[in-house]
C-alpha cells in the first residue's frame, strides 16, 4: 500500500479510489498534517537552528548514576540539509566541573555528509571520525520532527507496529537504507513527541538514543519544536533550547572538508600496540598507546590492574600477560574506576574468566554492564558468555601471598570520581593510579587530592606508574599540584 490514492481505469469510467490507510499511515499522515501539511514538509530543503543548552558527561561523571557534571552549551548552531543528508553542528561548551582538559570554553564543529563524519578543531584542522560515528550522526539527522516525518512519508519506507502508549501514538519505521526508528506523536495534537533509534555503545551495548521534542512554534509555514532533550539509554546526554530557527535559510557549506574526505575510513578500534616495561621484579607496565595497564606477579597467579578502552586493547594486554609469564594464570583484574575509557575492556576480561575487583560503589554498574545485551555489535563476552564475578573494595583491601603484596585504597574525595581506587605495592614503593595524576597533562585538577590521600594513608611512594602518561616520581606528583 504505497500510495494513499490511486486512479483506477474501469472500461470507460474513471473513478478515483482512496485506499483505506493503514493504522501506521494514519499516524504518519496525522503527524504531517499537524506539522504543516505533507506538501509543505516535502518542500523543505534545509533547517537551521540556533540556541543553547547542556551536554552531559555520560560515563565520565562522579558515579555512573550521577548527572551533575554538565557542559554548558552556548553559540549552538545546527544546519540540516535534508535532501543531501548533511548536517553540521557548531557549539561552544564549558565544563561546570573539574574537567581534565581545564575550565576554558571549547569550540566544537561536528559534521556528517555523504556518510562521512568529521570534526574540525579550533585551529581549523579537520579530522575524519569513525564509520560508527558517521552512522550515528546520519541517524541523528532523522531525530527531528520534519526529517523523521519526511522519512516516514517516503513510499520506500516500511511502517509497522502502530500502537497507542499512554498519550502517544507510536509507529516503527525502516527506511530504504535500512535505518530503523520509532516515532511517537502526541495523541491529541498529532505533533511528534519523540524519535528513538538504537546504536552500539562499547560499554553499554545496545542503547536507545531518544530525542524528545517540546514547545512547538510556527516557523516558515511549519511547526518546529524549540526544546530538544536527548537521552542515551536512561541517561540525559543533551538538552537544547532553540532561540532562533529558520526553514530554507542560509545553509553555508556543509561538504566534508578535504582532509577528512581524503583520510582513510575508520572501521573499528585501532590495532593494539602493547609495550612492556619491567618496573620492578614481578611488576610490568603494559603501555604503548593512550591507556596503560599494570601486570603484577604472585607465586602462582597474575593480576592485572585495568582493562581499558575496548575488547581490542584489553584482549591484547591479556595476551601479553600470557607471553610474559606463560602457564601462570591471570585470575583477577582491578578496575580503577567506572569511567568508560577505563572500564571498556571489563567485559573482555570477564570473557577470559577474570574476576573483577573495583570500589564497592562500582559493583552494581559493572555487574549490569556485564549482563547487558550486545546484539548490534557482538563483543567478546557476547560471543563467549561467562558469568561475571565482581568484588567490591570498601575503603581498602590487601591482596597478598608469600611473594607479593598489593594494597588497594579508595581515593577519597577526588573530584575526578567518587569511587576511584589506587594500588600500592609496598615492597617497591610503587603507586599505580589512573587520572588522578597524568604526567605530562597541561592541567592537574585532581593531583592535590591524590597527595592528600597518599599522605593520610602514610604510603611511602617513590615511583608512580600512571595509567596515562609516562612513569614519574613522587616529587613529580608534588610538583604537578597547582599552586593557589
Q: Which residues bind Zn ion (CB under 5 A)?
A: 339, 435
Provide the CB-side half-sphere exposure for 80 (13 A, CA). 20
Place of cell 605530562: 440
Q: Is the four-CA dihedral 370, 376, 379, 385 of positive or negative sign?
A: positive
Specify which residues 242 forms β-bridges with.
Answer: 51
Nearer to Zn ion, 226 or 453 (CB): 453
Nearer to Zn ion, 99 or 213 (CB): 99
Q: Shortest approach of Zn ion to residue 467 CB, angstroms?
A: 9
Q: Shortest approach of Zn ion to residue 340 CB, angstroms?
A: 9
Q: Shortest approach of Zn ion to residue 477 CB, angstroms?
A: 17
Q: Shortest approach of Zn ion to residue 437 CB, angstroms?
A: 12
Nearer to Zn ion, 463 or 468 (CB): 468
CB 441 within 8 A of CB 434: no
Within 322-471, strands assigned E span 330-334, 355-359, 390-393, 396-400, 405-411, 420-425, 430-433, 463-466
Provide the CB-side half-sphere exposure for 402 (13 A, CA). 2
CB 312 within 8 A of CB 272: yes
Q: Shortest approach of Zn ion to residue 5 CB, angstroms?
A: 58
SS3 content of the chain, % helix, strand, coil (to 5): 20, 40, 40
Q: Shortest approach of Zn ion to residue 450 CB, angstroms?
A: 13
Nearest to 363 by CA among 63, 57, 56: 63
Q: Shortest approach of Zn ion to residue 435 CB, angstroms?
A: 4
Set of cell numbers at residue 465: 606508574
Nearer to Zn ion, 145 or 308 (CB): 308
Q: Whole-angstrom Cα distance, residue 433 to residue 442?
A: 18
Nearer to Zn ion, 70 or 82 (CB): 70
Q: Shortest approach of Zn ion to residue 342 CB, angstroms?
A: 6
Sequence-distant (6+) residues with CB within 8 A of 165 are 184
Nearer to Zn ion, 256 or 369 (CB): 369
Q: Shortest approach of Zn ion to residue 337 CB, angstroms?
A: 6
Nearer to Zn ion, 186 or 433 (CB): 433
Q: Torsion over CA of 311, 316, 317 and 318, rounded to 10 degrees?
A: 80
Nearer to Zn ion, 142 or 435 (CB): 435
Nearest to 304 by CA among 290, 286, 291: 286
Phi, psi of 248 (to 5 degrees): 55, 35
CA 362 to the chain's CA centroid: 18
Place of cell 575496548: 310
Amino acid at each position: 500500500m504505497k500510495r494513499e490514492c490511486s486512479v483506477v481505469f474501469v472500461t470507460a469510467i474513471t473513478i478515483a479510489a482512496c485506499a483505506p490507510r493503514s493504522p501506521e499511515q494514519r499516524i504518519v499522515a496525522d503527524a504531517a498534517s499537524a506539522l504543516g501539511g505533507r506538501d509543505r514538509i516535502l518542500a523543505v530543503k534545509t533547517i537551521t537552528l540556533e540556541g543553547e543548552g547542556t551536554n552531559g558527561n555520560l560515563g565520565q561523571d562522579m558515579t555512573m548514576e550521577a548527572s551533575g557534571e554538565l557542559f554548558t552549551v552556548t553559540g549552538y548552531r545546527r544546519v540540516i540539509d535534508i535532501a543531501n543528508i548533511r548536517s553540521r553542528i557548531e557549539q561552544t561548551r564549558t565544563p561546570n566541573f573539574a574537567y581534565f582538559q581545564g575550565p576554558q570554553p571549547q569550540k566544537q564543529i561536528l559534521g556528517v555528509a555523504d556518510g562521512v563524519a568529521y570534526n574540525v578543531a579550533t585551529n581549523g584542522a579537520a579530522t575524519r571520525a569513525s564509520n560508527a560515528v558517521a552512522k550515528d550522526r546520519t541517524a541523528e539527522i532523522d531525530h527531528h520532527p520534519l526529517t523523521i516525518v519526511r522519512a516516514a512519508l517516503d513510499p520506500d519506507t516500511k511502517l509497522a507496529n502502530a500502537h497507542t502508549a499512554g498519550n502517544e501514538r507510536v509507529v516503527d519505521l525502516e527506511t530504504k537504507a535500512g535505518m530503523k526508528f520509532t516515532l511517537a506523536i502526541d495523541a491529541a495534537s498529532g505533533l511528534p513527541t519523540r524519535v528513538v533509534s538504537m546504536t552500539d555503545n562499547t560499554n553499554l551495548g545496545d542503547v536507545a538514543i531518544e530525542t524528545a521534542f517540546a514547545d512547538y512554534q510556527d516557523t516558515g509555514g511549519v511547526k518546529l519544536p524549540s526544546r530538544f532533550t536527548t537521552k542515551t539509554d536512561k541517561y540525559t546526554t543533551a538538552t537544547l533550547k532553540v532561540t532562533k530557527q529558520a526553514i530554507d535559510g542560509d545553509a553555508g557549506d556543509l561538504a566534508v572538508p578535504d582532509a577528512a574526505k581524503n583520510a582513510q575510513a575508520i572501521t573499528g578500534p585501532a590495532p593494539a600496540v602493547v609495550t612492556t616495561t619491567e618496573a620492578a621484579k614481578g611488576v610490568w607496565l603494559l603501555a604503548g598507546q593512550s591507556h596503560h595497564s599494570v601486570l603484577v606477579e604472585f607465586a602462582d597467579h597474575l593480576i592485572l590492574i585495568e582493562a581499558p578502552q575496548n575488547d581490542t586493547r584489553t584482549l591484547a594486554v591479556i595476551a601479553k600477560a600470557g607471553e610474559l609469564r606463560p602457564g601462570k594464570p591471570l585470575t583477577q583484574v582491578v578496575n580503577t574506576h567506572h569511567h568508560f575509557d577505563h572500564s571498556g575492556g571489563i567485559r573482555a576480561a570477564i570473557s577470559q574468566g577474570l574476576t573483577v575487583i573495583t570500589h564497592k560503589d562500582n559493583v552494581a554498574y559493572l555487574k549490569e554492564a556485564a549482563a547487558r545485551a550486545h546484539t548490534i555489535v557482538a563483543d567478546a563476552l557476547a560471543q563467549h558468555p561467562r558469568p561475571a564475578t565482581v568484588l567490591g573494595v570498601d575503603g581498602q583491601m590487601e591482596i597478598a601471598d608469600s611473594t607479593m603484596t598489593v594494597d588497594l585504597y579508595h581515593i577519597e574525595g577526588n573530584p575526578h570520581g567518587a569511587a576511584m581506587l589506587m594500588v600500592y605495592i609496598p615492597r617497591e614503593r610503587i603507586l599505580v593510579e589512573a587520572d588522578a595524576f597524568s604526567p605530562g597533562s597541561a592541567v592537574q585538577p585532581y593531583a592535590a587530592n591524590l597527595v592528600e590521600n597518599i599522605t593520610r594513608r602514610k604510603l611511602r611512594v617513590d615511583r608512580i606508574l600512571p595509567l596515562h602518561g609516562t612513569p614519574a616520581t613522587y616529587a613529580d606528583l608534588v610538583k604537578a599540584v597547582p599552586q593557589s
